[in-house]
Structure 1
Amino acid sequence: MSPRLTILILLLTAAIINLYPQGASPDPPVIQVVSVDTATGDVVISWEPGITGGIKEYVVYDVRQGQDSAADALDTLDVTVTTYRHQGSQASSRSVSYTVAAVYADDTSPLADFHHTIFATTTYDSCANQINISWTPYSAWGSSLLAYNIHIRDIQGNYSLIPSISPAVTSYEYNGVEQNSGYCFYIEAENDKFLSSTSNRICLNTTRAYPPSYINADYATVTADNDIQLKFSFDQNTQLNDFTLFFGNAASDIVVPVAQFENITSGSLTYTHDVFSVEKKSYYQLAVVDLCPTKNPVKKSNIASNIILQATEDNYVITLEWDNYYQWLSGIKFYNVYRITNGGEVEKIDSLPYGINTLTDNLGIMITDDNLVGDKVCYYIEAEENDDNIYGIKGFSQSNRVCISLEPKIYMPNAFTPDNNSYNDRIKPILTFRPESYLFAVYDRWGSKVFETKNADEYWYGKINGRKKAPPGVYVYYLKITTSGNIIIEKKGTITLFYP
């Protein structure tokens, strides 16, 4: 070897040693950007070679989730390639990390600084009518990160941009969205080297949880304890299962919440309302409420109300009047009228079509036959819904009960003519009941007894002790009766006997 060639080799060796000192590792590549292709979900990694020459190839690594010290090689690339597309990445479901190493003839560089994809998520707040957007930061750029931009596309395909969000911010509230619509978002990070990295694209529908297709007020009925029991049925195919029961004193003003029900999935619910008086009108509606803290009503049932019955009595003739049940979807078919006597015996006494709201019940004959004096007779109305409710439900509603105390009544004629003409020939007290004990006596003006009987069916025919005709004049009677309720009644008065 010539001296000149030897000197040249020594100079070249020294240059290489200065460039790549013995024992030092070659420089790793410098990753410029890791970005998600919003159309495909692939991740594109771009880098620059390190300053050390002599690179043979590059190895691209996928960093294991949660293990920054462990990475799996994805591919080995020719030295001329400085971009890699990772198909089938998980960047649509999480932030994915990547790194690159340079391979030399006899060594491999350290791994490049890790770059993490931006991972965006969205949630729809139907209560606030806003979409909440959050994303992981693009931290690899450090202070060179300038801003984030939010790209938006609505369901009609219209694009809009929310630019220049501070690099310290990783969330945004997008307000004023349309309900039952669709939106897509992705985040773009920008740095001071005019590079940009995009996140995954995330789409969502602004669909509110749907309520039941129907809520039917089956009935509002008065119980034996003078409460109002309510029943409602609803479609079980619903995403909303919380309900509020509202009350009001008028059908146009049902605004007072009286009960709340959570997670009702059975398709029906019942509730008993302890009201001040069942003789006052009460109106109810059941509403399904949304999932917001304020529990706003989304859909309401038809109205349910109690029936109010009133009764008056005149000489054992009972007049019943009631208002209409309000408001079954298919209307009212009948009003059934019930009477309760003799310690609880219930009898249906009539069935009246819708539009008739009054009934007269004459108890005169019944009282004599059944000896009801001193007892109470009670009534209630039962409304019956028509058969064509569109949800296949048939409602029944009972009114309040009204009771009439049947006081004993005694009528005593004050004159008669016992002349055997078959007209007004006899006299006795007329009772509206059957007494337990009975005494009827008649005296003349001198106090002599001319007639006495303990048989409530026996008359005085105007004879003295049943033998001879009594003379005309004024006579005194005495009546003592004990009713079935152990009530003692005494009456005194005068009777005029005359002959035409």
Structure 2
Amino acid sequence: MSSYNTISYSIIIFVILLFSLDSLAQTKKPNHPTIKYITNDLSTGHPTIYWSKEQFDPLCEPTIGYIIYRKQTSGSCVGNNCSIDTVAANVFSYTDITANCNLSKETYNVATLGTTQTSPLWTAHSNIFITSKYDSCYSKIDLTWNLYEGWKNDSTYAYYYLYVSNTPALNSFTFKDSIYKFTNQYSLKNVIENRDYYFYLTARRVDKPFTTYSSLYHRFTDMPIRPNSMSVDSIIAEDKKVNIYFQIDQATEIKRFQVMRWEQSDSIKSIFSKKMLDEFYDPRINYFGDTLDSWTARTRPFFYKTDALNTCNQVVKKTNLANTIIPKVHNRGLSNHIEWEKLYIDTSLAEHKNNYARYRITRYAYADIAMPPVYLPETDQLEITDDVKIFEGQGYSVKFCYQIEGSERDLSGSLVMLSKSRIQCTEVVPGVVMPDAIIPNDTYVNNGNARNILIPIITFKADYSLSIYNRWGNLIFEGRNIGWNGSMAGGRLANEGTYVYRLVISTSGNKDLVKTGNVTVIYH
């Protein structure tokens, strides 16, 4: 072989060796590990990353450890691949005690650390992080979350599992629902105001025994504190007004209240007659006077309550429904019959369910001096008859008035609510005795009755008018609440003979009592 050929072969071998050494240097970069999953410690929020050892390749650099990367948005490193720690080659998990997955979504990756190089990064993994919106108007919590990132869709089990509790204690959580894996929303309905709610989700692999836990999410259903108690205490009806007295728990944070009126106890039947009488914003207010439809209120019971409304315009607390009582009074000779509507007891409220009603009737009789009211016997019936014969001939007016007090009581007999009616009156028909003769010139008085004057004896005090006519029908005397002493116009005394009288006893109910007859005038 010539020296030329020897040199050529040497050059070729050198070039081949050079390329071989370069290729060998490129294959020494380590293979990447495979992240199995990230999960969250619900108690601490610290995430743990699990991975498997990289695939062995004799041409790769030996593994001396693993580098942990975390996505960061602030600090000295900002971006997806910020190195936060290194672990030994025989360690295949890492707990990041500087992170809190209960507070934010975290994204991690892991690289193999060789003697001089690191492996390329592979698929990053992110934990499930829950957020929510509390819809107080509809009493629900709308949860949303990011789906677990890092697993292939077909390797993720079909459902996420949702767990709920009212305390953060992990042994208190109960399974709530299973949610399709591509859904990231869920509404928890009928939640209670001012209560703690805690949530977490789990997801798992189909082909591996891997389960990941989401963030532990807390939501407090913050709303103004409702009144613990509200009640209508009394309904006092006057001639042109109904007074409603109520109480509201002053510890409430609710600041909007309405006084409502119904014409029936059934809210469905009364839906078109319902009226909002007043709106106020201070729970210390405890009175409202209803002057609307005062004429109707005389003949028809009205039902009242007070509502507390939240910021969603929803009634969150209400008082008992309480009604006016309408008495009906009828005269039956010397007795008066009184009947009334029953007192409504709102048994829809648990605290009123076992209550009962009693009634007390007050009688008002009238004479020349003020007479004290008298209470008739208490009853549980809806009618009573009052015998007023004892007042006959005692100087009492024909007018008798009555007022009904309906009291709602609990099982102990304590008063819960009082409804007092308007005063309703009637008039008895008085008995009347008229003398059949008078002696104008006789001054004798017998038992208070003078012989020289024609005056009616009425069993009850009443106004009257008296007219006297001669035999030809001419009016010779007319007076009101005075008798006839035989005088005629000009002061001349009437002649002896028979005269006709007409007596009209007036009542406020326009039921005048008319009596006519003859009276004889005689002289000694």
1:447 shift after superposition = 8.2
CA distance, structure 2, for counterparts of residue 262 and residue 465 of structure 1: 70
CA distance, structure 2, for counterparts of residue 196 and residue 482 of structure 1: 98
Using the aligned pairs only, state the percent identity.
19
1:78 shift after superposition = 2.3
2:68–2:83 contact (8 Å) kept in structure 1: yes
Give 1:219's aligned residue: 234
1:427–1:461 contact (8 Å) kept in structure 2: yes
Give 2:72's aligned residue: 64
1:410–1:429 contact (8 Å) kept in structure 2: no
CA distance, structure 2, for counterparts of residue 263 and residue 466 of structure 1: 71
Give 1:53's aligned residue: 61
1:429-468 matches, within 5 Å, as 429-430=455-456, 443=470, 457=482, 459-460=484-485
1:259 shift after superposition = 5.7
Give 1:136's aligned residue: 146
Which of 82, 92, 104 is residue 82 of structure 1 equivalent to? 92
Residue 168 of structure 1 aligns with an amino acid whose one-letter code is F
Give 2:46's aligned residue: 42
1:120–1:187 contact (8 Å) kept in structure 2: no
Q: TM-score, normalised by structure 1?
A: 0.62
Q: Give the count of matched residue pairs.
A: 466
- Does residue 168 in structure 1 map to residue 182 in structure 2? yes
- Does residue 280 in structure 1 map to residue 290 in structure 2? no
Give 2:348's aligned residue: none
1:168 shift after superposition = 2.5
Give 1:119's aligned residue: 129
Structure 1 residues 16 and 404, CA gap change in structure 2 (3 angstroms): farther
Structure 1 residues 330 and 441, CA gap change in structure 2 (3 angstroms): closer
Give 2:437's aligned residue: 416
Give 1:233's aligned residue: 247
Residue 38 of structure 2 aligns with an amino acid whose one-letter code is V
SS at match of 1:17: helix
Structure 1 residues 73 and 317, CA gap change in structure 2 (3 angstroms): same
Structure 1 residues 301 and 357, CA gap change in structure 2 (3 angstroms): farther
Residue 96 of structure 1 aligns with an amino acid whose one-letter code is E
Structure 1 residues 300 and 448, CA gap change in structure 2 (3 angstroms): closer
Residue 240 of structure 2 aligns with an amino acid whose one-letter code is D
Worse overlay, 115-124 or 310-319: 310-319
CA distance, structure 2, for counterparts of residue 278 and residue 448 of structure 1: 43
Which of 316, 323, 346 is residue 305 of structure 1 equivalent to? 323
Structure 1 residues 135 and 482, CA gap change in structure 2 (3 angstroms): closer
Structure 1 residues 86 and 323, CA gap change in structure 2 (3 angstroms): same
Give 1:399's aligned residue: 421
1:404 shift after superposition = 6.3
- Does residue 426 in structure 1 map to residue 452 in structure 2? yes
1:95 shift after superposition = 1.9
1:318–1:360 contact (8 Å) kept in structure 2: yes
Give 2:510's aligned residue: none
1:397 shift after superposition = 3.2
Give 1:381's aligned residue: 403
1:90 shift after superposition = 1.5
SS at match of 1:310: strand
Structure 1 residues 39 and 426, CA gap change in structure 2 (3 angstroms): same
CA distance, structure 1, for counterparts of residue 199 and residue 504 of structure 2: 97
Once superposed, what is the RMSD of the aligned Cα atoms?
6.6
Which 5+ residue runs of structure 1 have no aligned equivalent?
Answer: 1-6, 484-489
Residue 199 of structure 1 aligns with an amino acid whose one-letter code is S
1:402 shift after superposition = 3.8
Structure 1 residues 324 and 474, CA gap change in structure 2 (3 angstroms): same
Give 1:18's aligned residue: 23
> For 1:215-244, what per-residue CA distance to the aligned partner results, in whole angstroms no more than 9, with x for missing partners?
433123435435x55444354567999989
Q: TM-score, normalised by structure 2?
A: 0.59
SS at match of 1:84: strand
2:29–2:61 contact (8 Å) kept in structure 1: no
1:279 shift after superposition = 1.7
Residue 22 of structure 2 aligns with an amino acid whose one-letter code is I
